[in-house]
Amino acid sequence: MCLRVKILFMVAFAVVLVMPGAALAQTGGCEAYFALIEDNLPSMVGDDAALTSLITVTANVWTDNVDPTKIMKSLGEREFSQKGLEKYRVGLMKSSSSKMKYNLERGELRYVNQDRRFDSAKPGKAIDPSKGLEMARKLLSGNIGVPRSEILGKNTLSQVLQGGIARPGTQDLVKRYDIESHFFFQRAINGIPVMNSGAFVAVSNKGQISQFQVRWPVMRVDQSLLKAGVLSQKEVINNIYNRLVQDQPCDQTTSIKKLNMFIAYVPSVVTNPDKDKIPEPARRVRYTPKLIVYFLPDADGEAGEVLEFDLFNKDGRPES
């Protein structure tokens, strides 16, 4: 069984009301859009001290202590092979029924055990949610070593993957069963979400880890942003307004049904092609604090859109 997991990190932040006069006078636009933006803008936007604190966060270099061999043994794997580029801490470990890929430079691990996948002949029932969650947490913060302080516990998502047997020629299920239990973990640094970073753990009905995926790079923030300077609230508001008008022209006040905003760390891969020969999969990830804006059009059938906005005057080039 192979699953792709996408995790959306969304956190509610305090908002601040900005006087609309200046922004409206400058753009001469849609009051309804400005009201949406101003009512949802995080208070950290435009705050030099607050945004600087996001850049100067101390990195927890947790991957230095990760031992893939110990992880495999903790999962009950007794005989397995290993190959990879040890210089770049990238590799693959395989047994007769399982494999684990890892890229410790990026804090990425992925494990699948085919023998622990669902067996319809012996379906069983899902593990008790609290016990499964405890197993998943022990795997992440214990056996793997993900920093416990970076797991956003209050937003942990648990669910049971279910299936069944349908009546021939119909979609009516004549038999239902639990397949396995899934646990999703969001990552945050001092309460700020980290985009494209988190973990997924699947526990079989027999109480075994059947698969997991971890994407938890060491937090390296683009230090050149310290020299770039912070955009003002008015500049950020105008940037959001202009993009919303471009995507959803405000010819009617109901063209946007919902608008959410939060500040998050957004990843990029560091590349120095002229200075080193590090293969692309082993390159480090560096982060930039940005404003994430999600809006949902009022029109039926239209999907929501996620946008990113700069909080600093320019994107500094990553350090070597």
More confident residue, 253 or 134: 134
List the single range of 142-146, 262-266, 269-273 with lowest mean pLDDT: 269-273
Query: What pLDDT, in 10s, does the model give residues 72-94?
Result: 999 999 889 888 887 778 899 99
Backbone angles phi, psi at 273, to 5 degrees: -60, -25
Range from 182-191, 220-229, 309-318 that averages highest in pLDDT: 182-191
Amino acid of residue 74: S
Span 296-307, average pLDDT: 75
The model's pLDDT over 167-216, given as tens digits with 9 standing for 90+, comes to: 787 777 777 888 899 999 999 999 999 999 999 999 999 999 999 999 99
- Asked whether residue 318 carries a pLDDT value surpassing 60, the answer given is no
pTM (2 d.p.): 0.80
- Give the pLDDT score at 3: 34
Q: Is the pLDDT of residue 261 over 90?
A: yes
What is the CA angle 110-205-136, rounded to 5?
A: 45
- Per residue in 117-142, pLDDT (tens digit) is 887 778 889 999 999 999 999 999 99
pLDDT confidence of residue 162: 81
Domains and CATH numbers, the chain: 20-56+222-310 (no CATH), 62-215 (3.30.310)
In this predicted structure, the answer to whether residue 14 has a pLDDT above a threshold of 80 is: no
Q: What percent of the chain has pLDDT over 90?
A: 50
Chain segment 95-114, per-residue pLDDT in tens:
999 999 999 988 999 999 99
CA dihedral for 199, 205, 208, 211, sign (positive or negative):
negative
- The whole-angstrom separation of Cα 320 and Cα 302 is 42
Which residue, 260, 135, 131, is CA-closest to 193? 260
Contacts of the segment 181-184: beta carbons below 8 A, 24+ positions apart: 181/126, 181/127, 181/129, 181/132, 181/205, 182/158, 183/132, 183/133, 183/136, 183/156, 183/157, 183/158, 184/5, 184/7, 184/156, 184/157, 184/158
Residue type, position 13, single letter: F
CA-to-CA distance for 146 and 198, rounded, in angstroms? Answer: 10
Tokens of 252: 């009617």
Rounded-to-integer distance, Cα 254 and Cα 297, Å: 8
**Predicted confidence band at 36 (pLDDT cuts at 50, 70, 90)?**
confident
Distance CA 289, CA 221 (A): 8
Please give the mean pLDDT across all residues of the chain.
81
Range with lowest mean pLDDT among 44-53, 58-67, 272-281: 272-281
Q: How far is 221 from 146, CA to CA, in rounded Å? A: 18
Burial label, 86 (beta-carbon count in 10 A; 0-12, 13-18, 19+): exposed
pLDDT at 273: 53
- pLDDT of 180: 93
Highest average pLDDT, of 146-155, 243-252, 305-314, comes from 305-314
> What is the token pair recorded at 213?
């995926």
Span 44-65, average pLDDT: 93
How many helices (H) and strands (E) are present in the chain, helices listed first? 7, 11
Q: Give the C-alpha separation, 93 to 66, whole Å.
A: 14
Q: Tokens 């927890």, residue?
A: 60
Distance separating alpha carbons of residues 217 and 295, to the nearest angstrom? 28
